[in-house]
Structure 1
Amino acid sequence: MNRAEKAQVIQDLHDKAQKASIALVTDFRGLKVEEINELRSTLRQNNVDYQVVKNTLARIALEDSQHALLKDELRDTCAVAFGYDDPVVAAKELANFAKKHKKFALRFGSLEGKYLDADQIKDLSELPSHEELLGKLLGTFNAVPTQFVGLFANLLRNLMYALKAIEEQKQG
């Protein structure tokens, strides 16, 4: 790799790190190319970039980003996943992949500039996603008017029963 190619890789990584809300470092040793491609495909569908990086280039690229705290931890072979939208989705997809492939490991990460170890990433992956939380919130908002309508309908029904009973009493 010549100097211009290295500069381009550094710039691309830096741009990704600047835009990403979460950066997760993984160990992929022992995985087959097909497995890595499967992971990349899954992550790409969720707006997460997954890139194998040279540690020296990654250190330079992460220098002036919110994920700069990761640069001192980069050792051995590693790949970085950059999540742009919902940080939980990136953590969840990588944790699910790690469950299926024992050679794959989550090492550490950065969530908006805060360091995450492997256990914290696992905990993050167990949280509901943004869409799930919105669904629960909307369900809660919808429950109040629905219950009000049901309560009002019961009152009207009881009133109708009472009027019907009065009518029957007067006829009988």
Structure 2
Amino acid sequence: MARPDKAAAVAELKEEFQSSNGAVLTEYRGLTVAQVTELRRSLGQNARFRVVKNTLTKIAATEAGLDEQVLDLFEGPSAIAFVKGDVVEAAKGLRDFSKANTPLVIKGGVIDGKPMSPEEITKLADLESREVLLSKLAGALKGKQGQAAALFQALPSKAVRLAQALADKRAESEQS
């Protein structure tokens, strides 16, 4: 029979895996408490950084239905950044922090149920934030609407100018 505190920890981790948009697994060996606190602050409001026990986390990940590739990453001291919201922002925070603090190593993770390698997470961090991408898309769509409106306005005005030119030509030929 499992101890109630361990069963509660597994249930909590399982809930974190299921309710998060992503989970990035890291190795934190060599980081001081102050550095871990700084990392938690740098991740912002969308991510929660937790130091976890591998055995309990493997059980929770299995119960949450995560891929076998992710379960293989639970070696050595592990910590997970559970992301709710913009995954790109959290990936940038982890990448930037790991550049400044070499003891933090990104092992991999799961984004929207898909296993991701450390390289893929770094590529994700290179993307612009969701808000920036959406605003660029909105700007592009607005520009296309303006072009379409100008095109639709040009057709009738060209037809009117053509009709006027024909009328002028006819009047000119009648006078001659």
Equivalent residue runs for 1:120-159 within 5 Å: 120-144=120-144
The alignment covers a number of residue pairs equal to 151
In the alignment, does 2:51 pair up with 1:52? yes
Which of the pair has more CA radius of gyration? 2
SS where residue 63 of structure 2 aligns? coil
SS where residue 26 of structure 2 aligns? strand
| Contact 2:51–2:80 (Cα < 8 Å) also in 1 | yes
| Contact 1:30–1:103 (Cα < 8 Å) also in 2 | yes
Aligned to 1:106: 106
In the alignment, does 2:110 pair up with 1:88? no
| Contact 1:66–1:112 (Cα < 8 Å) also in 2 | no
Q: Which amino acid aligns with 2:94?
A: L
Aligned to 1:40: 40
Segments of 5+ residues of structure 1 without an aligned counterpart are 153-172
Q: Which amino acid aligns with 2:63?
A: D
Q: How far off is 1:121 after superposition?
A: 1.0
Q: What is the aligned-residue RMSD (CA, Å)?
A: 2.3
State the TM-score, normalized to the length of structure 1.
0.77
Deviation larger for 16-25 or 57-66: 57-66
Deviation larger for 51-60 or 108-117: 108-117
- Deviation string for 1:89-139 (max 9, x for gaps)? 221111111111111110111122222111111111111121111111122
Aligned to 1:115: 115
State the TM-score, normalized to the length of structure 2.
0.76
Deviation larger for 78-87 or 142-151: 142-151
Distance (Å, rounded) in 2 between the aligned partners of 1:27 and 1:73 = 10
Percent of pairs with identical residues: 34
| Contact 2:67–2:115 (Cα < 8 Å) also in 1 | no
Q: How far off is 1:148 after superposition?
A: 7.9
